[in-house]
Amino acid sequence: MLRVTIVCSSLVRLGPTNVMFNMLQAYCKQPEDVRFEIVTISGELQDSRIQDFERLGLNITSCKIQEGITGIWHLKKLRALILSTKPDIVHSYGFRADCLVGLMKLSGIIKISSLFNNPHEDYPMLFGKVKGKLMAIVHLHIYRKFDKIIVCSNFIADKIKASQLPISVIYTGVPSDYFVPLSDVERLNKRAELNISNNIKVWLFIGNLIPRKNPLFLISAFKKMKLKDTILMIMGDGPLMEECQVAIAEDSNIKLIGAQPGTLEYLQISDFYISASYSEGFPTAVLEAMSVGVLPVLSDINPHIEMVSNLSNSCIFKNDDFVSLSKIISENMVSPTKLKPREYLLSHFSAHIMQKRYVKCYHDLCKRIF
């Protein structure tokens, strides 16, 4: 039995946590010869998914180190907790976990990390130019202490290949048995519950309201287009919430619904999913949309293009270009798509495929190193 200990800062509901959960959930449905345990660095706060992980029957322990505080004693405490799980592999998720695991001496134990973004691009946007650039340099340097870095797209692999790290690409996957389309009758009833007429075309955006996600461009574009029987639904919260509210003003065709406990029912009643992001890793919301049969319309950043390149070129618009976006929207509104996003997802980006590739990676590393 191969023993894998996953180390992360916490189980807060964020992209990397969701990917981790999807992988573990898919594995637990068809368990093989790997035993997973989870060690968190800090205690759980609001919006934690710890109960979801516990329902999978996983053993979860926490070092309960306060966020932002890490000294030598804390490092020793975390190391002792990890070693108590007797792992063959330690698999870390996130900047904080990667730094701590990278600094540890774990003789005879394989170190793996999963990377879901481009540090050189994302960290300056999130933390400011100086701090962000420094964090990117530190993160990629720490990775030299690892036996394998698993990235979620070929784009990210290309961006960090100059660091000469041991990289493998495993695409993010979503649980396609959960994100399923509704029947016509179910969809009609669900729309009625949400006070949305069946003749309305719904364009859905899901994400944090931050500059990187570019929600203000979408609001501006939809206000200019003044599309008949069409609404843009924006799900999320964040620093740009007030600006978005001001930008929407009295436009009844743009609905800002804030953060929601779940995305499934909104995806199921939508006709299109839309993103104008400047930077992404391999966004799960796009995959979830495809899983329920909703066509994504995406900005022309490389991760988006990589996701849908074999589906259709009609899904991509030039970012921050109103003419390009309006053309793509008009084409998709006038000519109902014959594309099959769900079938495409099932053959490329399901959680089942993802977990199979992770387990294979674990075994291949053990064979090579031991």
pLDDT at 335: 63
pLDDT at 130: 96
Per-residue pLDDT of the chain (370 residues; tens, 9 = 90+): 999 999 999 999 888 999 999 999 999 998 889 999 999 999 888 889 999 999 999 999 999 887 665 667 788 999 999 999 999 999 999 999 999 999 999 999 999 999 999 999 889 988 999 999 999 999 999 999 999 999 999 999 999 988 889 999 999 999 999 999 999 999 999 999 999 999 999 999 999 999 999 999 999 999 999 899 999 999 999 999 999 999 998 888 999 999 988 899 999 999 999 999 998 989 999 999 999 999 999 999 999 999 998 787 678 999 999 999 999 988 887 665 667 899 999 999 999 999 999 999 999 999 877 6
| C-alpha torsion 339→236→13→212, nearest 10 | 80
pLDDT at 361: 96
Domain edges within the chain: 2-173+350-369, 184-348
- How far apart are the C-alpha atoms of 118 and 155, rounded to whole Å? 9
pLDDT at 73: 76
Amino acid at 44: E
CA dihedral (202, 307, 23, 66) positive or negative: negative
| C-alpha torsion 117→120→121→127, nearest 10 | 90
Q: Pairing between strand 89-93 and 59-62?
A: unpaired
Give the list of residues 6+ apart from residue 15 with CB closer than 8 angstroms, or none.
116, 281, 283, 284
2-173+350-369 and 184-348, same CATH topology: yes
- How far apart are the C-alpha atoms of 53 and 50, rounded to whole Å? 5
* Protein fold of 2-173+350-369: Rossmann fold (3.40.50)
- How far apart are the C-alpha atoms of 35 and 87, rounded to whole Å? 9
pLDDT at 113: 98
Token pair for 42: 């800090």
Q: Which CATH number fits domain 184-348: 2.140.10.10, 1.20.120.330, 3.40.50.740, 3.40.50.2000?
A: 3.40.50.2000
